[in-house]
Amino acid sequence: MIEHLPSDWRKAKLLGRLMSREGPTPVLVLDGRLIDVSVIGPTTSFFLSAWDGTLPQGRDLGPLENFEFRRRWEGGGGVRLLAPVDLQCIKACGVTFAVSAVERVIEERAHGEAGRAEAIRQALCDRVGAELRSVKPGSPEAEKLKQVLTSDGLWSQYLEVAIGADAEVFTKAPCLSSVGWGDFVGVRSDSVWTNSEPEIVLVCDRNGRALGAALGNDVNLRCFEGRSALLLGKAKDNNASCAIGPFIRLFDETFGIDDVRRADISLHVEGEDGFELTGSSSMSLISRDPLELVAQTMGVHHHYPDGVALFLGTMFAPVEDRDATGRGFTHHPGDIVRISTAKLGVLENKVTRCDLAPAWEFGLGDLMCNLAARGLLAPEKVRQ
């Protein structure tokens, strides 16, 4: 597990959750040691709402190296690391990079059929991709480009959110449904064109303060979304289709929003069939600033009293052929997916079918009952 932490993890403040004998437990990694902070904040949402940079006095569990964090598919003993978010609403931004905008237009025009994608890609990439990279969303120049592309018959609902004034923000998954490092990620058995989407996830408190970041996998079914944008919920929100981790790195003097803005995120997929795929996504190429995306997500029109975990989008859409020429990339069960960047570490998961992934059975009611039984729901502990 140590090799999957940030390169400077001994200097970082890392907030996470693990499954202890008592139940889901918020923990903080400080100076290389694991601290149980559940008596301060019984959930990471509560902890972040009270976070002011002051180091908390939790229960010291010992050096992090002493803990054996197990991958769920390996079985055996060890500690299971959960997704580091709990009560936060899990939101996601789409089409925040020019490349991803082009790929969404391709999905739309191919009607979700991967075999038709390459011909459309060749026809669109040079013309639309170059134009999109040159304008700021919502600007007068973007409006002029919209008029030109509309007259050329190239306009799309995806281009509207790529260069228009309003960003695409959607609900990715219910609270508590995301999986963490070392867990399975799920793709539907009736999907034939599936991708992992490597992203940074900004974690905000109830007041809209961006307090830290983690890595995320916004698993997507391109064949569903390509058939109709109204199938976005079915393409995005499925059993085990959202992974976040391994920890939330809290903003401090060693890591801040500028590190998010210039991060390079890598993706590596290793299949049981010997197939390998690598790619990267550079946050420096994002069309909208991360804090602008937060402002469009939280504000006078959208209140989230338990905070938000916000996926910022990706520029990476793999097009390498896997099963047949011209059909591009799709996941196979058994794929190991690693998403990484130096200051956030490595999020590692294994692909399975949604119907075969461990069922999501521990919901909000279960969490409240568990915390109450542990004496962690006193008012002074949950609202400071």
Quick one: three-class SS letters along 174-237? Answer: CCCCCECCCEEEEECCCCCCEECCEEEEEEECCCCCEEEEEEEEECEEHHHHHHCHHHHHHHHC
Query: 44-53, 107-116, 213-222: lowest mean pLDDT where?
Result: 107-116
Using one digit for the tens of pLDDT, what is the confidence trace for 294-305? 999 998 999 999
**Cis peptide preceding 63, ω within 30 of 0:** no
Mean pLDDT of 92-105: 79
Residues 6+ apart with CB under 8 A from 2: 9, 64, 65
Instruction: Write the pLDDT tens digit of every residue in 101-119.
Output: 777 777 777 777 777 777 7
Please compute the mean of the pLDDT values over residues 314-320 and round it to a whole number. Answer: 82
What per-residue confidence (pLDDT) applies to 201?
98
Q: Render pLDDT for 137-152 as a digit per residue (tens, 0 to 9).
A: 888 888 887 887 787 7
CA-derived radius of gyration, the chain = 21
User: pLDDT tens digit string along 155-202?
Assistant: 788 888 888 899 999 999 999 999 999 999 999 999 998 999 999 999
CA geometry: angle at 307 spanning 305 and 309, to 5°?
A: 150
